[in-house]
Amino acid sequence: MKNKFMKKVFILFILIIFAIFLYNYLVKERWQGVYYPDGCLICEDDYIFSPVYNTKNGCLDWAMQKKALRNNDNDLYECGKNCKWESGLMVCEETVDK
């Protein structure tokens, strides 16, 4: 009897781990920002990358805080959803910018 119970607990544990994996890697949104000091889109050495956020608003908040700290009207930023690096470019499912 105890063996069957342990087997059920183990299967439940595996299912929970699998569900967490699916959520984190297939369902959950990942937003990352790129900040362009002085609005220079070709100055790759100057880019500032944000941490990864779970929401668009989290990323935009980061960018707006960075802009307020720098106080430079020429600065630009963008936030992208589920971005991947392809051939040296960051390709995103969706992008918002200013």
- Tell me if the pTM is above 0.75: no
Widest CA span in the chain: 70
Q: What is the 3-state secondary structure (H, E, C) of the chain?
A: CHHHHHHHHHHHHHHHHHHHHHHHHHHCCCEEEEEEHHHCCCCHHHCEEEEEECCHHHHHHHHHHHHHHHCCCCCEEEEEECCEEECCEEECCEEEEC
Do 18 and 27 meet the contact criterion of CB atoms below 8 Å apart?
Answer: no
Average pLDDT score over residue span 72-81: 95
CA separation for the pair 73, 70 (Å, rounded): 9
The arithmetic mean of pLDDT across residues 43-61, rounded, is: 93
Q: How far is CA 80 from the centre of its chain?
A: 8
Model confidence at 12: pLDDT above 80: yes
Average pLDDT over residues 73-98: 89
